Amino acid sequence: MKVCLISAPTANQLNQSLDEANASRIMGELAPVGILSLAAVLEAKGLQPEVVDLNRLYYEWRQHSHRNGTDFCSFAGDYFAGRDFDVFGFSTVCSSYPLTLRIAAAVKHLHPGAVIALGGPQASVVDISTMLAYPAIDIVVRGEAEQSLPDLVDALSTGNSLAAISGITFRNDHGEIVRNPDAPLILDLDALPFPAFHLFPDVRFCHHFPLELGRGCPFACTFCSTNDFFRRRFRLKSPAQMIADMHRVKQTYGINSFELVHDMFTVDRKRVVEFCEALLQSGEEFTWGSSARTDCIDEELIALMARAGCRGIFFGIESGSRRMQKIIDKGLDLDDSVARVGSCDKFNISTAVSLMAGFPDETMHDLRDTAAFFVDSLRYDHADPQLSILAPLADTPIQKQHKASLVLDDDVADMSYRGWRQEQQDHAMIAEHPEIFSSFYSVPLPHLEREFLKELRDFLLSSMRVFRRLLLGLHQDSGDIVDVFQQWQKWRVSNGLIFSNGDRTVYYACNNFPADFLRFVQTQYIPTASKAPLAMTTLVEYEAALLGNDPAAEKAHPDEVVTDHDELLVPESRPQLCPGVKIVELPADYQEIVQRLRQQSPLHDMPVTQVNLAIRRDATGAAEVRQLSPLSVELLGLCEGSLTVEEITAIFRQSKFEVPGVSADKLCLAGIEILRQQQLISLASDASYRQQIKT
C-alpha cells in the first residue's frame, strides 16, 4: 500500500525574497513532527511512506511560478498529478484549512481511485461538517493517529470493513458518514519510534531541532483547542528517552539546540526536575526551549532549567486583566506571572509573553490592563511580548458559546491572517461554512471597537520592534499606554494621516510610522502631557538619532567597512570617523533612564547632564550604541580627517584631560587606539590623504 503524508502549510515567512539557505532553515524548524511520527510507525510496519512538505512546495511556487499566473493550488495539483499513491493523507491546521481542502479536492480529481484522508487538529474536530461539505474527503482520522492510521492502512489493503477502526470518520457503502468511537490514547510515548526525520531533508538546516517532549495539558482555558485534542491527559517522554533522542539528533545532524514540543511541560514539577538532572548528568551541552504556565514554575526550578540548558520558555499569559483571567478559566495570578518572567530574565532565559485580546466579555478597562502587561514586560530584556486577537478555534468553549453570532469581518485577511495569503476561493468557502472555518471569524465584542483593537495591536507590535525603550518610557510616564495611543490616534487624524482598513497594517509595518510617531511625541506628547519631559526628550532624541532620516542611507557600505587594524598608528596618520558612525548629544543620561525604567523608578527628577553617544551601523544596518567618555568626545571632535595624529596630540596637550602618571601624549595615543578598536575611527595614511585631496 503506497501512502503519501502531506504537511499542513504553516510557514508565513516564505516569500520570494528569502534565499534558499534561510528558507530551508525555516522549513526545517517547522518540520511536521506529527506526520513524521506517523511515517515512522508506518515504516516500522514495513511500508515506505512518502512525506510531502507543502511549505517547500509553496516556496518553490513563490520562487518560480506565481508570476506566470499559476495559482498555488494548481501548482500543487501539477505536482501531485505525476505521483500515484493509494492513500493521500493531509495534515490540517485551522489557518490553512481552506487551502488544504482545495488541494485535497484537486488530488482526488487527479486520482479518483485513491483514498483522501485528513488528520490533525482542525479536521479532527470538524470531521462530519467537512465531509458533508466536501465530498472529495473520504476519511478523517481524529486525534492521535499512531494506532489508528496503521489500522486504517491495514483495513484498506485487505479490503476489511472500516467499521472496527477506532478514531476514524468515514463514508460507508451507502454514502453515509459514520463516526467510529475515539481511538485509545498513546499512553507510552517512549514506545513510539523515532520520527522519520530522514524523510524531511530540510530538517538538517534548522537551528533549533523540533522534538516531541510529550502530550496533553490538564487545564481548561476556554479558548484552547489543544487540551481536548489530547484529552487533557498529561504525558511526558522519559528523561532517558528524550536524552537518547537528542543525542541521536546531535550525532546525525550535528545540531544540539532543540525546540521541545509540549503544550505545557511543567505540569509535574518532580518530572521537570528529573529531566533537568538527567540532562546535567548526561554531560551533554544541549540547549532547549519549551512551554510552561507561570503558576507551574518557580524561581528555583527556573534556575535548574537554566543550568540544564533551557534558553527559552513560552508563557501563555493571555490577559493582563485579573477579571478576564477568571472569565477565560486561565486563572493566573498576574503578580506571579510578572515575577516568573523576571526570574527567567535573571537566568538569561528568553520568554515569549503571549497575550490575547478580543475576548467577548472584554471591556476597555481589561484591554488597558493587557496593554499594560504587554508594555511592562519590556522591562526585561529577554522578554518578547506577543499580542494576538482571539480567533474562535473550532470546538472550543468560546466558539461553542458564540457559534450563532460569529462575525465575518470584511477585513477577513486580518482576522485570519496567519501569514498565508487568502485567495478568493478561500473567502467563499469561509463565508459559506462558519462551523468549519470558525477561526476566520470573530466573536461579538459588545464593549470594544474592533477597529480600535486592531490598530492598538499594530501600534504596540510595531512600536516594540522599533523603539522598545521609548514605548516603555511613554507607558511609565503616562501611567497608561492606551491613553498615549488615543492621543496619537487623534494627532494622526488631525495631521491627515488617514488610512483605510487594509493600509493600516502596512502603515505600521513601514518606515513612515516611526518617523510620524517620533514627531508626535516631540511636538504633542512631551509639551502637553509628559510628567518627565527631560527623560522623554532624551528617549525620543535617542530613537530619532537611531532612526535617522533615512537609516538605509546611513549604514556603512560593505566596501567601506574599515579593516585597518593592522595599519600602524604613526604621527602622519589622519584619523577620521568611520562611515556609518554618528555622534549624538543627549540632554540626560540615557543609560540611567534605562536603568530607572527597568526598576520602575521615577523619571521626573533626572538631572540635566550632557551625554554623548556614538552610533555605529554595520553593513546590514544593525546599530551598535556606545556611551562616550568626555575624553572620547574630545578626541572624536579632533578626528575629522584633516589633522594628523601629531597635530591632534599637539592640540590635546592644551586640553584639561589628565591622568596621574600618564603623559598627555600617551593618553591621546591610547585614546585614539581605543576608538580605532571600537571601530569608531579609521586611519588614513598621509599618502592616501594626499591622494584623496587630489581626487
Interface contacts to ligand SF4, rule CB under 6 A: 217, 219, 221, 224, 226-227, 263-264, 293, 316
If one asks whether residue 10 binds ligand B12 (CB under 6 A), the answer comes out as: yes
Q: CA 203, CA 177: separation in Å to the nearest integer?
A: 38
Residue 457 CA: distances (Å) to CA of 6, 26, 420, 482: 34, 25, 19, 11
Judged by beta carbon distances under 5 to 8 A according to partner kind, the member of ligand SF4, ligand B12, none in contact with residue 602 is none
Judged by beta carbon distances under 5 to 8 A according to partner kind, the member of ligand SF4, ligand B12, none in contact with residue 325 is none
Binding residue for ligand B12 (CB under 6 A) from 40, 344, 393, 636? 393
Greatest Cα pair distance, the chain, in angstroms, is 101
Q: List the strands of the sheet with 581-586, edge to edge.
A: 581-586, 611-617, 623-627
If one asks whether residue 203 binds ligand B12 (CB under 6 A), the answer comes out as: no
The least distance separating ligand B12 from the CB of residue 259, rounded to whole angstroms, comes to 7
H helix runs in 467-511, sequence order: 468-478, 481-494, 501-509
Q: CA 474, CA 152: separation in Å to the nearest integer?
A: 59
Q: Which is nearer to ligand SF4, 198 or 235 (CB)?
A: 235
| Neighbouring-strand partners of residue 583 | 614
Neighbours of 317 (CB within 10 A): 27
Q: Which three cell numbers stand for residue 68?
A: 506566470
Helix (H) or strand (E) holding 214: strand 214-215
Q: Which is nearer to ligand SF4, 108 or 330 (CB)?
A: 330
Q: CA 416, CA 409: separation in Å to the nearest integer?
A: 10
Q: CA 182, CA 167: separation in Å to the nearest integer?
A: 4
The alpha-carbon radius of gyration of the chain (Å, integer) is 30
The least distance separating ligand B12 from the CB of residue 122, rounded to whole angstroms, comes to 4
What is the CB-side half-sphere exposure of residue 197 using CA atoms within 13 A?
23
| Neighbouring-strand partners of residue 141 | 168
Nearest to 598 by CA among 366, 341, 350: 341
Judged by CB under 6 A, the stretch of 5-13, 505-513, 530-538, 624-632 that binds ligand B12 is 5-13
The least distance separating ligand SF4 from the CB of residue 246, rounded to whole angstroms, comes to 23
If one asks whether residue 129 binds ligand B12 (CB under 6 A), the answer comes out as: no
Judged by beta carbon distances under 5 to 8 A according to partner kind, the member of ligand SF4, ligand B12, none in contact with residue 388 is ligand B12
Q: CA 354, CA 385: separation in Å to the nearest integer?
A: 6
Q: How many secondary structure helices (H) and strands (E) does the chain include?
A: 31, 20
Q: How far apart are the first and last CA of the chain?
A: 76
Residue given cell 488610512 in the structure block: 499
The least distance separating ligand SF4 from the CB of residue 239, rounded to whole angstroms, comes to 22
The least distance separating ligand SF4 from the CB of residue 215, rounded to whole angstroms, comes to 11
Neighbours of 629 (CB within 10 A): 13
Q: Which is nearer to ligand SF4, 317 or 680 (CB)?
A: 317
If one asks whether residue 684 binds ligand B12 (CB under 6 A), the answer comes out as: no
Nearest to 402 by CA among 356, 445, 364: 445
The least distance separating ligand SF4 from the CB of residue 317, rounded to whole angstroms, comes to 10
The least distance separating ligand SF4 from the CB of residue 499, rounded to whole angstroms, comes to 34
Q: CA 654, CA 657: separation in Å to the nearest integer?
A: 9
Applying CB under 6 A, what is the total number of residues that bind ligand B12? Answer: 39
Judged by CB under 6 A, the stretch of 141-149, 352-360, 617-625, 686-694 that binds ligand B12 is 141-149
If one asks whether residue 225 binds ligand B12 (CB under 6 A), the answer comes out as: yes
- Contact positions with ligand B12 (CB under 6 A) in 394-423: 394, 418-420
Judged by beta carbon distances under 5 to 8 A according to partner kind, the member of ligand B12, ligand SF4, none in contact with residue 33 is ligand B12
| Neighbouring-strand partners of residue 6 | 52, 90
Q: Which three cell numbers stand for residue 624?
A: 551598535
The least distance separating ligand B12 from the CB of residue 532, rounded to whole angstroms, comes to 37
The least distance separating ligand B12 from the CB of residue 219, rounded to whole angstroms, comes to 12
The least distance separating ligand SF4 from the CB of residue 221, rounded to whole angstroms, comes to 3
Residue 261 CA: distances (Å) to CA of 22, 688, 691: 22, 58, 61
- Strands (E) in 206-339, as ranges, are 209-212, 214-215, 235-236, 257-261, 287-292, 310-318
Q: Which is nearer to ligand B12, 212 or 369 (CB)?
A: 212
Judged by beta carbon distances under 5 to 8 A according to partner kind, the member of ligand SF4, ligand B12, none in contact with residue 35 is ligand B12
Judged by CB under 6 A, the stretch of 93-101, 302-310, 448-456, 638-646 that binds ligand B12 is 93-101
The least distance separating ligand B12 from the CB of residue 230, rounded to whole angstroms, comes to 7
Q: CA 10, CA 22: separation in Å to the nearest integer?
A: 16
Q: Which is nearer to ligand SF4, 139 or 264 (CB)?
A: 264
Binding residue for ligand B12 (CB under 6 A) from 39, 141, 206, 260? 141
Supply the DSSP string of 436-452, one letter for each residue.
Answer: TSGGGSB---TTS-HHH
Q: Give the contact letters, 258-277, x = binds to ligand B12 (CB under 6 A), - = no.
A: ---x-x--------------
Judged by beta carbon distances under 5 to 8 A according to partner kind, the member of ligand B12, ligand SF4, none in contact with residue 671 is none
Binding residue for ligand B12 (CB under 6 A) from 51, 52, 96, 302? 96
Q: Which is nearer to ligand SF4, 331 or 641 (CB)?
A: 331
If one asks whether residue 30 binds ligand B12 (CB under 6 A), the answer comes out as: yes
The least distance separating ligand B12 from the CB of residue 446, rounded to whole angstroms, comes to 23
Judged by beta carbon distances under 5 to 8 A according to partner kind, the member of ligand SF4, ligand B12, none in contact with residue 91 is ligand B12
The answer to whether residues 604 and 535 touch, using CB atoms and an 8 Å cutoff, is yes
If one asks whether residue 99 binds ligand B12 (CB under 6 A), the answer comes out as: no
| Neighbouring-strand partners of residue 215 | 235
Q: Which is nearer to ligand SF4, 230 or 508 (CB)?
A: 230
Residue 303 CA: distances (Å) to CA of 91, 292, 566: 38, 14, 44
The least distance separating ligand SF4 from the CB of residue 133, rounded to whole angstroms, comes to 28
If one asks whether residue 476 binds ligand B12 (CB under 6 A), the answer comes out as: no
Helix (H) or strand (E) holding 162: none
Q: CA 122, CA 139: separation in Å to the nearest integer?
A: 14
**How far out from the chain centre does Cα 149 lie?**
32
Q: Which three cell numbers stand for residue 292?
A: 510552561
The least distance separating ligand SF4 from the CB of residue 220, rounded to whole angstroms, comes to 6
Judged by CB under 6 A, the stretch of 221-229, 346-354, 407-415, 667-675 that binds ligand B12 is 221-229
If one asks whether residue 32 binds ligand B12 (CB under 6 A), the answer comes out as: yes
Residues near ligand B12 (CB under 6 A) are 5, 10, 12, 30, 32-35, 37-38, 89-91, 93-96, 117, 119-122, 141, 144-146, 149, 212, 224-226, 261, 263, 388, 393-394, 418-420
